[in-house]
Amino acid sequence: MNLRRDVYQAIADPTRRAILVLVASQSMTAGAIASNFDTARPTVSKHLQILTECELLEQEQKGREVYYHLNPERIKEVADFIEPFRKMWDDRFNKLETIMKEYQSKK
Amino acid sequence: MERKTEVNAENGKQELVITREFDLPLELLFKAYTEPGIIEQWMGTKVLKLENKKHGIYQFETSDAQGNVVFRANGVIPEFVPNQKITRTFEMENTPFSVQLEFLEFEKLTDSTSKLTMQSVFKSVELRDQLLKLPFAKGINMAHNRLQEIVGKLK
């Protein structure tokens, strides 16, 4: 499974954007977040998982409960449009890696 | 979550740091930066000149599909230490961007993995921030061009 997810893909989904807006005001448990949506609980969990993988949300253990809160730095990064720049270099370096692996195997 | 390429651009600082770990031995990673034929493949630019030595110079040029030159960059290389570091200036010709100073550091992690740290220093914070937004602006442009193409076909 590819865990490297595109952050823009993550915020392209309306439910996920709604979750970010909801959590922006205060940290919340998965249950509390899910109660704001008509969507099935596992679907909300999936959205939370994606947002956490993209580091837009962070998990925090408080007693027996896990709270979700925004990762302001990551949000800011997206707002600053750094992500396309990072993606550009990531693509270049992926290419470099592929080319050099072929080069290595030819030797 | 694993993110192979990291870009660190601290607020208010006129530099940015790009780091990346590679599944490649150090020597191969370094080679990718010094062999013109290989640079051309992964950077997608033509290497007009590249002197891999202290006080050497280099020049890159990119053309579009029609053969028009769209981008030209050049610089000098104050420091060149094989498999360790390259320090170079980077200037995009015919742009409002001032010269940048790039420090490339190559590190061995294991026999088959390596790490690159690229620190770019800019003349001002504003110039750095503008450069960061370039790919974004380009993306919008490309989407716009594609839209024009599609609309053009409808006529």
Q: Domain boundaries in chain A?
A: 7-80
Token code pair at residue A11: 């915020």
Model-wide pTM > 0.80: no
Candidates B96, B139, B101; CA nearest to B118 is: B101
Q: Does pLDDT of B53 surpass 70?
A: yes
Query: Which helix (H) or strand (E) element contains residue A106?
Result: helix A82-106
Nearest CB to A99 within list B42, B132, B136:
B42
Is B7 in Cβ contact with A85 (below 8 Å)? yes
Distances B42 to A36, B103, B142 between C-alpha atoms, Å: 47, 19, 20
Q: What is the CA A16 to chain-centroid distance, rounded?
A: 10
DSSP state of B67: S
Q: Is B32 on the interface with A (CB under 8 A)?
A: yes
Q: Work out the pLDDT band at A81, boundaries 50, 70, 90.
A: low
Across all residues in chain B, what is the average pLDDT? 87
The two tokens of residue A69 are 């809160």
Q: Which residues of A touch B129 (CB under 8 A)?
A: 80
pLDDT category of residue A23 using cuts at 50, 70 and 90: confident
**Chain B residues closer than 8 Å to A4 by CB:** 1-4
- Taking an 8 Å cut-off on Cβ atoms, the answer to whether B1 and A54 are in contact is yes
Spell out the long-range contacts of B92-99 with Cβ–Cβ below 8 A and sequence spacing 24 or more: B97/B127, B97/B130, B97/B131, B98/B122, B98/B123, B98/B124, B98/B127, B99/B75, B99/B123
Max avg pLDDT among A53-62, B10-19, B57-66, B75-84: B75-84
CATH class of A7-80: mainly alpha
- pLDDT, tens digit, for every residue of B120-146? 999 998 888 888 877 665 555 555 555
**At residue A6, does pLDDT exceed 80?**
no
Cβ of A100 within 8 Å of Cβ of B29? The answer is: yes
**Residue A24 distance to chain B (closest CA, Å):** 21
Whether A80 shows a pLDDT value over 70: the answer reads no
The residues spanned by each domain of chain B are: 15-123, 126-155
- ipTM for the predicted complex comes to 0.82
pLDDT tops 50 at residue B91: yes
Give the nearest chain A residue to B139 (CA atoms).
A84
Q: Which of chain B's residues have a Cβ under 8 Å away from the Cβ of A3?
A: 1-2
CATH class of B15-123: alpha beta
